[in-house]
Structure 1
Amino acid sequence: MTDPSKEVFDNYLRNYERRGEGCFRSLEDVRALRLDRLPRWITRIRKDAHILDAGCATGYRLGLLHGMGYTRLIGVDVSAQLIETARSLLPSQVTLKLADIREFLGQTPDGVYDVILFHHVIEHIPREHTIGLLREFRRCLAEGGYLSLKTPNATCLLGGYHGFGDFTHVVQFNEFSLLQVLEQAGFDTGQVEFILHPPELFWPFRHPLHAAMRVLNRLRWRLNKLVHHVACILLDLRPTPRVSEWELEVLARK
């Protein structure tokens, strides 16, 4: 019997185009508008770092990193459509591989990568493979290297919008369950950092309207945090979650 999730993955580009996620028209577009969409911790990483984007999709993050001067970049994705799109958008210096990430890591030596990006992929991985995959990521990281994880936040009041908005999502996480699987995979919880800052958008300050949009976005973020905090008090939820945004962002150091 055909795996229905595989059928969806085979046509995953359509989902990206429909929802406008992770796509860009050109590297010029990325440089002009979205450079500060990269995580702020990326400034800790030296320019000659070996970076793996596991689940690179159309190459959005790789395009940003290349524009910042990072040169040792490799992207892996299971979707032939997404890899083909990434190849058409990215310079030839960026290495792209069509592969299942578990099979790819199985052929990777220990301690190869300084940074591994695993953004909005872990929710696609069947539960029985999650911890084993995280162990493989840790094995492939150099000492002091970073695993960057992003996934929809099940704690968010509208977490189902993103969590169930994709047929191929099979597992949901909040900050407690994500920390649980990272610890089980061998990461030191003292070296796991949840990114808790107001989001930056690509609007520049030099334009008054864009500057106002930045301020409004910060206010939205703080109001959302307050609403979730009040809801936790009313429902007597303890411990109170730290992350209330729709997206969990975690940085785990080896």
Structure 2
Amino acid sequence: MEILRLFESDGRMNKFQNLFKQIICFLSEEKIEYVIIGTVAYSEYAPPRATTNINFMISESDCCKLESVLKEHEIDFIWNPYQQLVIAVKDNSEETKKYPLELSFQITPKGLTFNQPIPKEIFGVADVPVASPEVLVALWCLAVSNGHSKSYYDAQMVIKLQLADVDRCAAVIESLLESDANKVLRSILTGNAMYVDTIDIDEALIMASDLIQTHEEIELAKAHRYQAAQERRRQLYERMQQTK
């Protein structure tokens, strides 16, 4: 999590850390099983990347329990269009308005288990369960099959760096119900061009030449996409404020 501190002021980071610790405490007290996924999990195994979001994965049956706990402690949250429960750090600074720091929770895909998460220390909290590289690859392949093509590069990078066991990745993906994630994994392993019908953006066609990009080239491309996404997010936020 050191990479976060490079991009954030002390005040914002303190609030983010305190919110994280508070939520972890609630999850433990209520015996809500969870695992950390997304960029934070990626950064535990691969070269770290900056992020403004810590992603959790919980079971569908625990969602109602989590909502009740948050309401009981008067912690505001929303459900975003991606069916994620989002808790944002409360702060009136311009920095926060442009790039809010958030904790987000998404429901575990059908058929997927937490599959022996790896305990890590995050923000001084010991033994935080982090998804294994194999589970991360499976989740990203699933995301690509559902139309989120930028996740292809996350899965690709973990496999290129040999951080995940390919056979275990395949086994985890096999457990997913009603998905084409196995086709995405096969595309990464073979280097063949891939097209998924559900993808309707410029990155839908992923050519084999992408697989021979250097780590620096891929990370630079991801940084550009991240900045573009943050700008779209900022514009959306401004439009929402104008309509109030």
More helix by share: 2
Q: Report the TM-score when normalising by structure 2.
A: 0.31
Relative contact order higher in (CA < 8 Å, ≥ 6 apart)? 1
Q: Report the TM-score when normalising by structure 1.
A: 0.30
